[in-house]
A = this chain, B = another copy of it.
Amino acid sequence: MNPLSDVRLVLLDVNETLSDTAALGAALTALGASAHLAPTWFAAVLRDGFALLAAGTPAPFADVARAAALTVLHGVVDDAALPGAADRLVAALGELPPHPDVAPGLRALAGAGLRLATLSHGSPAVAEAVLARAGVREHVERVVGVFDEAGTWKPAAAAYRHALDVCGTTPEQTLLVAVHPWDLHGAAQVGLRTAWVDRAGAPWPAVCTAPDVVVSDLGRLPAALGR
């Protein structure tokens, strides 16, 4: 039996899953820094946010992102320009374009009768902005900001349970869709169904629970769900 046959709600991660973080490289270049600092910074933001979560003291995403930006840009931009540069980099995260597959993919999912929501520990405003930019806000019934609403971050079990609560679905009815293996792993521990969007054709990390389905872009998700 298809493990996804009961899925009624598609829960979408936001940063990197909907938004294209390649534009962060341009923001860094405009600050006089190397574009290759973008993945280092974004990994550091999640590293520090997860560390605070594991220490029992989760913090607002934007605060974690700004602190990591100050560290990564230290010695790269002048000390006097550092606070402004960190603010600019954090702001750039809220201005990212959607990946090209987001608009057709979300329209196809909605057209197949599936409910859609987003789930992130970042600001709901960032999720709203990328959905609006893709022109698909009307298809998404709820933008869940799990830090604002429940004081936690993914991949803690409480984050996924909060989403199930507010959306009124069971784990079997709920599909988490993300580019990040750690996110799908966390969702799988709570019993959600999982779809990995692997746009780069990267290998799945063996330390994470394998996803139920792998797609190369969001447009292939309805077929993977048998719709």
Contacts and interface: CB of A to CB of B under 8 A. Distances in A.
A129 interface: no
Given A55-B182, A156-B55, A185-B57, A205 B71 contact: yes
A182 B203 CA distance: 29
A169 interface: no
Contacts of A68: 205
Interface stretch (A10-18, A24-32, A33-41, A140-148): A33-41
Copies in the complex: 2
A185 B74 contact: no
Query: Per DSSP, are chain A's interface residues mostly helix, strand or loop, or mixed?
Result: helix
Interface stretch (A45-53, A94-102, A108-116, A215-223): A45-53
Contacts of A156: 54-55
Interface string A174-192: 0000000110011001000
Contacts of A51: 46, 50, 155, 182, 185-186
B206 A67 contact: yes
Contact of A54 (B40, B50, B59, B66): B50
Contact of A189 (B53, B55, B64): B55
A206 B63 contact: yes
Interface string A54-84: 1111010001101110110011000000100
A200 interface: yes
A94 B34 CA distance: 29
Closest 3 A/B residue pairs (Cβ) = A67-B205, A51-B182, A50-B50
Interface of A: 34, 36, 39-40, 43-44, 46-48, 50-57, 59, 63-64, 66-68, 70-71, 74-75, 82, 153, 155-157, 181-182, 185-186, 189, 200-203, 205-208
18 contacts: A34-B36, A40-B43, A43-B43, A46-B51, A47-B47, A48-B181, A50-B51, A50-B54, A51-B186, A53-B54, A54-B186, A55-B156, A57-B185, A57-B189, A59-B207, A67-B205, A67-B206, A75-B200
